[in-house]
Structure 1
Amino acid sequence: MTMRFGSVGRAFAAGIFVAAIAAGAAAAQQRFPSSAGELIVETVASGLENPWGLAFLPDGRMLVTERPGRLRIVGTDGTLSRPITGVPSVMARGQGGLLDVALDPAFAENRLVYFSFAEPRSGGNGTSVGRGRLNEQGTALANVEVIFRQMPSIASNMHFGSRLVFDRTGALFVTVGDRYSQREQAQNPANHIGKVIRIRPEGGAPADNPKKQGWAPEVWSIGHRNVQGAALHPQSGQLWTAEHGARGGDEINTPKAGLNYGWPVITYGIDYSGAKIGEGTAKPGMEQPLFYWDPSIAPSGAAFYTGPVWPAWRNSLFVGALAGQMLVRLSTQGEAVTGEERLLTNIGERIRDVVQGPDGFLYLLSDDANGKVLRVRPAR
């Protein structure tokens, strides 16, 4: 069942509050009400230029990407390392640059780090995925190789995706955008435009990918616009995604092998000009979203909550909002969204990524020239 909530929300209405900074609170700490009690948002680190992706190292430090092309380690005390060497050149224009980062499931043994980036190429650019081995000092990536390239290359600064999520078999999901100017190609399964991709850690298609006639072997699902949030459901292991619409029509989907998610034939949004897009909101053979937003919130970054800090929020999907400048909690039951709660609505930050930390708190990246790592915890 598809659920829709407009700008005022309908489910969890009591949880949608106007946030305020508590009297006497430190400048780096804000207080916000929520359905699980008061939330404290504190700045862990600042001085990051448009941070995009975050991954926790086993020792509690964080790997953070900066869109201009830098990868840094953020210490537990908030200190920023010098940029890690070995990152390839990126096309840092428009929405392009160094994007997501993920650790190999066996990182403790192999120290492999995966990252997505807008790769400059002859005649254009595209979303690529690289991997390299992080040295023990945390200063360099060695043996860096590109394991996936979105094809064809397009001369565009828009809609690169891109999130990286390992599934429970060890395969890697990669979300890639429709490049904005190529949206009709999201329906062409022979290329990588507007798709969810699934590859082996060393590159190439896993044997259990759809491999339907006319489909590129790396393609998992088609008909996507610009997926910038992705996470595995903690119980089912199913991939859930948060996808940008145009004006309206931001979507939550659960992309499954060989299925078509409709863009740009069906959508709940309209074009930026106000013109209609496609044929309507439904068509046989095309999947409906589990949930959509109208007006858009511009979702980016997603994480399921599994920790002990907020037991009532377990299995909720948290989604960052860029234009909406807030954190959204979606309650779930099986493969259904059962409600929405809008949090941190007066935070004044574009939330680019959401990650659950090893301490059970939520960590956010703010997309700004002076971007921050923010920690969300309960008031004590």
Structure 2
Amino acid sequence: MKNRLVLLALSLTCYTSFAQTDRQQIETTIQLYFDGWATGDTAKLSKAMHHSCQLKNYNYRSGQFILMPKLDYVSRFRPRERDKSLSTNIVYVDITDNLIAGAKVEIHTATDKFTDYFNLMKTTEGWLIFDKISTRTPHRIRTAAPEKEVVLSGLNRPWSMAFLSEEEVLISEKEGDLVKVNLRTKVKTPIKGYPSDIVTTLGGFGDNAGKFEVLLDPQFAQNKYLYLSYTAETTAGKTTKVVRATLENDVLTNLKTLLLAAPYTNECCHYGGGMTFGPDGKLYISIGERLFTEKDEPALPIAQNVQDKRGKIYRINSDGSIPNDNPDFGVGATPGLYAIGIRATQGLTHDPISHKIWFSEHGTHQGDEINVLKAGANYGWPIKTTGKYRFEGYTPPKLKDSTYTAPLWFWQHTVAPTGLTFYSGDEFPTWKGNLFVTGLSKGSLWRFTVENETVKNVEELFLDSRVRARKVLQSPMGKLYILTDETNGQLIRIVNRH
């Protein structure tokens, strides 16, 4: 009796193993169908389907029954890139005698859900789809009806923000404090311990000095690190400085300088100060060229001089050290350089889908740009520009062996783009994956539809309520906010009223 039980157990084990193997083969066939459907690869579709396979569909509105042979069905497909919003799902697989099976699958696109029922059979070529019935259900997508909702006023030219949670956010005021704001109670708490070399007096209209970016470490919950960019001042003048600090009990401690963009000068503009963490865990920082007019450019322009810290984008480790895989700009180059030819970049962000870093760039008269950051790239300033020079008599030098990276997008008018972010929330489903950019001139918020590194569509929002806007950011729960650049600055939420 004992031997019989052992043999029965072994028999069941073998059967289960064999059935599981068949299931894996069926899933492989279905995945081949998914891949062919998503990319228009007719070879994959043909391989997944038996030559006798037919597609059956019934249109209940018209009462029409559709019977489509495999060849007709496959011939409708054309090669295409896989839609980033597309997802697939095998709902269930039911196998009988390891010879026939039924499966329910779903394909979700940005607008529709396709539900297919497959009949499959095991052949000498493996498991194949012999029959398919399907239906298509449009998603109930809320159309975008954006409105502005003022969450908080009384901010002193806010520049940046960083969410501690859905309810609490840090806001840096360019001409004020670094404050913690409770979005529910509206209570503002100044953060103590800000670096003491912060500029104390501004030179009047056109002085861009002050507090800039506030950025949380990706591991902030564990290490409490945050990063600040601001205008540092000595008797020699001003420059851009980046520090790391520990935030505990609303006090900054353990200040550490990560980047000091010397020399100190008396120029009062184009500090840069944009920061973001890349998907590689490295800190990316923009430093502006600092000149107001091209008349003051040296023979080798500042942004083209790899020994000058200004007019560059840097890539460093979170402790200020330099990554070993940074691009090599040659002997004597400033440590940490990642890209050159920058005029006045303030906004940096990374695309969570492509993992590429995008940045905005201020031109002079026109020439405002959107770029994708490339290792070792030269973005051209002031040799190349899509706008005009402030000093009309300026003639840029011709530099040997220089290759320039063109912008992905530039405006035909002055926008003065600042912060930017990619949207992934649910409040505006049709905006998912879009790039949002704020601007200081002629428009407060721009929406870009992009595919890979191509701008497909651009929309300016809120034409009837333009306002200088400094930053756009998404909260942890996917809500979209902007900061207005005013002495009575506002934190505004973009709300969908549909």
Aligned to 2:139: none
Aligned to 1:176: 287
2:411 equivalent among 285, 293, 299: 293
1:191 partner amino acid:
D
Aligned runs of 1:268-307 on 2, under 5 Å? 268-272=386-390, 274=392, 278=396, 285-307=403-425
Aligned to 2:211: 98
Aligned runs of 1:190-229 on 2, under 5 Å? 190-214=307-331, 215-229=333-347
- Closer, same or farther: CA 43–191 of 1 in aligned 2, 3 Å: same
Q: Bigger shift: 160-169 or 271-280?
A: 271-280
1:156 equivalent among 267, 273, 277: 267
Aligned to 1:3: none
Aligned runs of 1:1-380 on 2, under 5 Å? 36-77=143-184, 79-89=186-196, 90-91=198-199, 93=202, 94-135=207-248, 137=249, 139-181=250-292, 184-214=301-331, 215-272=333-390, 274=392, 278=396, 285-380=403-498
How many residues get paired? 342
Tell me by how many angstroms 1:152 deviates: 2.3
TM-score, length of structure 2 as denominator length: 0.66
Maintained 8 Å contact 1:267/1:278: no
Tell me by how many angstroms 1:274 deviates: 4.8
Q: C-alpha distance in 1, partners of 2:185/2:485?
A: 17
Tell me by how many angstroms 1:221 deviates: 0.2
Q: What fraction of aligned residue pairs are identical, expressed as a percent?
A: 35
Maintained 8 Å contact 1:319/1:329: yes
Tell me by how many angstroms 1:379 deviates: 0.3
Tell me by how many angstroms 1:37 deviates: 2.6
Q: C-alpha distance in 2, partners of 1:78/1:248?
A: 42
Could you say what secondary structure the match of 1:159 adopts?
A: coil
2:219 partner amino acid:
A
* Deviation digits for residues 23-44 of structure 1 (CA, Å, limit 9, x no counterpart): xxxxxxxxxxxx9432121111
Could you say what secondary structure the match of 1:302 adopts?
A: strand
Specify every segment of 5 or more residues in structure 2 that has no aligned partner in the other structure, as ranges. 1-141
Tell me by how many angstroms 1:59 deviates: 4.9
2:194 partner amino acid:
V
Could you say what secondary structure the match of 1:308 adopts?
A: coil
TM-score, length of structure 1 as denominator length: 0.86
Specify every segment of 5 or more residues in structure 1 that has no aligned partner in the other structure, as ranges. 1-34
Tell me by how many angstroms 1:308 deviates: 1.7
Maintained 8 Å contact 2:234/2:264: yes
Maintained 8 Å contact 1:68/1:98: yes
Tell me by how many angstroms 1:60 deviates: 3.0
Could you say what secondary structure the match of 2:221 adopts?
A: helix
The structure whose residues are more often helix, as a share, is 2
Aligned to 2:59: none
2:216 partner amino acid:
L
Maintained 8 Å contact 1:58/1:108: no
Q: C-alpha distance in 2, partners of 1:251/1:275?
A: 23
Q: C-alpha distance in 1, partners of 2:322/2:402?
A: 28
Maintained 8 Å contact 2:166/2:475: no
Q: C-alpha distance in 2, partners of 1:263/1:85?
A: 38
| Structure showing greater Rg | 2
Could you say what secondary structure the match of 2:403 adopts?
A: coil
Kindly indicate whether structure 1 or structure 2 has the higher relative contact order, using CA contacts under 8 Å at least 6 residues apart.
1
Could you say what secondary structure the match of 2:303 adopts?
A: helix
Q: Bigger shift: 269-278 or 54-63?
A: 269-278
